[in-house]
Structure 1
């Protein structure tokens, strides 16, 4: 019961996936969502219904959208290190942190974010290969 009370400070608490998606699509549009999240349901014949259907089946994509909602649309400060590994719906937003105006997003910034993510993934992959004893074994 106490866990449920703690989650009430999370903007995702009690918010359905369709309502969440409708809010961010109405504000940003499918093109910006695809540019930032790189999820194909926002690119090829996008609709709220088809996107909800996909997101309900695909946990990683749903969490990616929920993180976007919290930290871009609700424009909350970055999550603490203790909360980072938790799924977005289980994160506890500290008292006093309230949602702000949605972040201003554009395609140029989306491209920079994707380039940083690609570089980070490549560096992580190299580190992981090295740690597994496969030094440079491409």
Structure 2
């Protein structure tokens, strides 16, 4: 499944920041994990469409609300040789895809503090455009 096909399938529920796709493409090119990533992203979007934020709050989910960073959420993609995070907002049945990055192993090396301000700024930009 191509990235464009996926976004077309779920387009009515998506708002994608213009810098998200180039970031994601760079991450996926490095690892040879495109198909696995796309399959899991499609699953996550289907869950959000069908169950809303219940699937974010559910224990053992690969999606979570970021503590102290409302309204930001994270999708975790643990793939062979790769650990990609997608920061997004789920609000009013819409998914705002904001930024993607490679997460380092362990809580000591987390990249969240670097990317949460970027995600919040991008969310504000998308909301202004609504």
Question: TM-score when scaled to structure 2?
Answer: 0.29
More helix by share: 1
More strand by share: 2
Question: TM-score when scaled to structure 1?
Answer: 0.28
Q: Which protein has the larger Cα radius of gyration, Structure 1 or Structure 2? A: 1
